[in-house]
C-alpha cells in the first residue's frame, strides 16, 4: 500500500496550520516528529478522513483518496490522541461497538476480538470497565480497535502520550510487530518513539516538513556538530541562554554539558557521537529550510 501526501495545506481562518506538506510512505513504520503545536494532529486527522484539507491531496496507490473513500476507510486503522469511552463500557463492549461501526459482525468478529485482546495483553481484562484501565491498558485497547478491520494503513496520533517508560516500550514493541505488512505513521514529539522502530522519519515544524529520511541520515548529518564541555553551574545558567544544549550530567562539582553547534563552541570542547535527539534539537532551533 502506497500512501502519498501531496502539497497538503490547512487554514483556520487567517491562520495556516499546514503549508505544502508532501511525502510518501509504503510498508513499515514512519515517524512524524515535531513539537506540540507543529501541525502533527491536524495532518493526522486529514489522513484519517476526520478533517478535510484546504488544499493538496492524499493519494492511495496513485488514486485520490476522495475517489476511493469507502475503500480507503475499509483499509484504515486510526488511533487518536485521546480515546473516549462510555462509562459503562467494558473493554469487550468497546471493541464490539467499534466493530459494529466498521460493519463487522458474527463469529468471525468475536474471534478477531479475542485474538487481538490476546495479542495486546488484555485477555484477562476485557470484562473490566474501560474507565478503570491504566493509561497503558487504554492505549493497548486503542491499538486493538484500530486493528479490528485488519487495516493496511495504521495511523497513530501521539500513541505513547502519558505512558510510563515501561508501557511506552511495550507499546513500541507492539507497533513494531504489527507493522510487518502494514504502512504505519506514528506521530509523536517523543524522539525515542521513532528512534528504534521507524523506517524513516519526517520532521515537522510550524506546519512545514523537510524530507522523509532514514534516522541514520539525520544522525550522520550531525557529525562534527555535537560537543562535550565541562563547566560550573553558574557558567551553565548563562551559557544555556545562547546555545542548544541536549543534555547535562553532574561530574563532581562541575557539569558535563552536551552542546549542539555547527562550530566548536570552546577551545576545550570535545566532539562526541551524535544521536537522533541531537538532530531533532538542531532542526527545531535552526531556521527552517525545506530543500
Q: What order of strands is seen across the sheet that includes strand 270-271? A: 244-251, 254-260, 226-231, 270-271
Q: Which triple of cell numbers denotes residue 248?
A: 547535562
pLDDT digits (tens, 9 = 90+) for 135-180: 889 989 999 999 999 999 999 998 887 788 888 888 888 888 888 8
pTM metric for this prediction: 0.87
State yes or no: pLDDT of 214 exceeds 70.
Answer: yes
Cα–Cα separations (whole angstroms), residue 16 to 46, 143, 150, 158: 14, 31, 35, 22
- pLDDT attached to residue 264: 94
Q: How confident is the model at residue 290 (pLDDT cuts 50, 70, 90)?
A: very low
Which candidate, 255, 251, 245, 250, places its Cα nearest to that of 277? 245
Residue 91: what pLDDT?
95
The mean pLDDT of 167-194, rounded to a whole number, is 88
DSSP state of 129: B
Cβ contacts of 218 within 8 Å, gap of 6 or more: 201, 203, 276, 279, 280, 283
SS3 of 219-287: HHCCCCCEEEEEECHHHHHHHCCCCEEEEEEEECCEEEEEEECCCCCCCCCEECCCCHHHHHHHHHCCC
Q: What would the 3-class secondary structure string for 13-37 be?
A: CCEEEEEEEEEEECCEEEEEECCCC
What are the phi and psi torsion angles at 67 (to 5°)? -75, -20
**Per-residue pLDDT, 291:** 44
Residues 51-110 have pLDDT tens digits of: 999 999 999 988 988 888 888 888 899 999 888 888 899 999 999 999 998 889 899 999
DSSP state at residue 131: G
pLDDT confidence of 122, banded at 50, 70, 90? Answer: very high
Amino acid at each position: 500500500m502506497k500512501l502519498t501526501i501531496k502539497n497538503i495545506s490547512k487554514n483556520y481562518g487567517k491562520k495556516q496550520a499546514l503549508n505544502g506538506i508532501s511525502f510518501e510512505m509504503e510498508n513499515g513504520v514512519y515517524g512524524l516528529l515535531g513539537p506540540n503545536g507543529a501541525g502533527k494532529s491536524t495532518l493526522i486527522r486529514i489522513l484519517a478522513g476526520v478533517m478535510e484539507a484546504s488544499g493538496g491531496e492524499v493519494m492511495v496507490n496513485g488514486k485520490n483518496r476522495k475517489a476511493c473513500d469507502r475503500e480507503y476507510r475499509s483499509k484504515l486503522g486510526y488511533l487518536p490522541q485521546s480515546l473516549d469511552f462510555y462509562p459503562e463500557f467494558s473493554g469487550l463492549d468497546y471493541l464490539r461497538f467499534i466493530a459494529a461501526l466498521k460493519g463487522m459482525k458474527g463469529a468471525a468478529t468475536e474471534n478477531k476480538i479475542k485474538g487481538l485482546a490476546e495479542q495486546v495483553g488484555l485477555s484477562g481484562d476485557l470484562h473490566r470497565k474501560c474507565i478503570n484501565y491504566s493509561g497503558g491498558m487504554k492505549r493497548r485497547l486503542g491499538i486493538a480497535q484500530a486493528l479490528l478491520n485488519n487495516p493496511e494503513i495504521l495511523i497513530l496520533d501521539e500513541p505513547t502520550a502519558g505512558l510510563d517508560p515501561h508501557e511506552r516500550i511495550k507499546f513500541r514493541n507492539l507497533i513494531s510487530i504489527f507493522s510487518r505488512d502494514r504502512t504505519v505513521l506514528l506521530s509523536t514529539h517523543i524522539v525515542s518513539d521513532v528512534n528504534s522502530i521507524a523506517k524513516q522519519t519526517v520532521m515537522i515544524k510550524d506546519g512545514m516538513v523537510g524530507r522523509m529520511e532514514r534516522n541514520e541520515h539525520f544522525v550522520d548529518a550531525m557529525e562534527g556538530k555535537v560537543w562535550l564541555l565541562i563547566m560550573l553551574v553558574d557558567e551553565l545558567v548563562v551559557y544555556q541562554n545562547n546555545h542548544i544544549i541536549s543534555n547535562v550530567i553532574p561530574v563532581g562539582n562541575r557539569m558535563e554539558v552536551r552542546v549542539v553547534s555547527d562550530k566548536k563552541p570552546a577551545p576545550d570542547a570535545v566532539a562526541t557521537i551524535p544521536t537522533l535527539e541531537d538532530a531533532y534539537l538542531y532542526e527545531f532551533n535552526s531556521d527552517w529550510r525545506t530543500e
